[in-house]
């Protein structure tokens, strides 16, 4: 079941995100987040932009997804960047796709015109998901991030709503 995020979700969302900080290059954050920092971020984003979670039948968070400003200048106000993370214990079940489909629908209904996904090289599951949802590759930045002593590329995908 997909619902809007609530403050009760912050601990599980923090744990999921910290897994990706420790174990992957899906995020360029290198230091784990505190529950307090995540709570502030969720409150700031969800007050103005879509922020949703996938609840498993037993009530646990299977994943989360949100949109946030792509750039800060007013001319970009109809364009958002998307973020989606699935709990490592629930990957491969289509949760990311369901979350992204719902997020796209919400963004369309709210009058946003463009979604951008910034994906680190090697994240083939994310590339595949975004292509399946109609996103098209629009850029490839080389060696723009460093994590785990590796220089990493970032590939941007775009969906015109």
Q: For the chain, give the percent of residues with pLDDT over 70.
A: 100
The whole-number average pLDDT for the span 109-123 is 96
Structure tokens at 1: 């079941």
Q: Structurally, how many domains does the chain consist of?
A: 1
What residue numbers bound the domain in which 56 lies? 2-160
- Residue 68: the pLDDT is 97
- Residue 47: the pLDDT is 95
- Residue 112: the pLDDT is 97
At 48, is the pLDDT very low, low, confident or very high (cuts 50, 70, 90)? very high
Q: How far apart are CA 86 and CA 43, in angstroms?
A: 20
CATH code: domain of residue 140: 3.40.630.30
For 53-73, the pLDDT digits (tens) are 999 999 999 999 999 999 999
- Residue 14: the pLDDT is 98
The whole-number average pLDDT for the span 107-136 is 96
For 75-98, the pLDDT digits (tens) are 999 999 999 999 999 999 999 999
Q: How far apart are CA 70 and CA 106, in angstroms?
A: 17
For 32-47, the pLDDT digits (tens) are 999 999 999 999 999 9
Q: How far apart are CA 53 and CA 45, in angstroms?
A: 14
DSSP string, the chain: -EEE--GGGHHHHHHHHHHHHHH-SSS---SPPPHHHHHHHHHHHHTTS-EEEEE-TTS-EEEEEEEEESSSSGGGTTEEEEEEEE-GGGTTSSHHHHHHHHHHHHHHHTT--EEEEEEETT-HHHHHHHHHTT-EEEEEEEEEEEETTEEEEEEEEEEE-
Mean predicted lDDT score pLDDT of the chain: 97
- Residue 73: the pLDDT is 95
Higher pLDDT, 122 or 98: 98
């Amino acid at each position: 079941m997909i619902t809007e995020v609530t403050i009760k979700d912050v601990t599980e969302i923090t744990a999921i995100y910290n897994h990706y900080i420790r174990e992957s290059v899906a995020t360029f954050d290198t230091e784990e987040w505190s529950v307090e920092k995540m709570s502030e971020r969720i409150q700031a984003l969800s007050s103005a932009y879509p922020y949703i979670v996938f609840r498993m039948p037993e009530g646990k968070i299977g994943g989360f997804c949100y949109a946030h400003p792509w750039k800060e200048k007013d001319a970009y106000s109809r364009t958002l960047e998307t973020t989606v993370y699935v709990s490592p214990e629930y990957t491969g079940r289509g949760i990311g796709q369901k979350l992204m489909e719902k997020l796209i629908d919400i963004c369309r209904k709210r009058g946003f015109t463009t979604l951008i996904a910034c994906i680190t090289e090697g994240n083939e599951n994310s590339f595949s998901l975004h292509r399946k949802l109609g996103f098209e590759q629009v850029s490839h930045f080389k060696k723009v991030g460093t994590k785990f002593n590796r220089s990493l590329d970032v590939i941007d995908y775009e969906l015109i709503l």
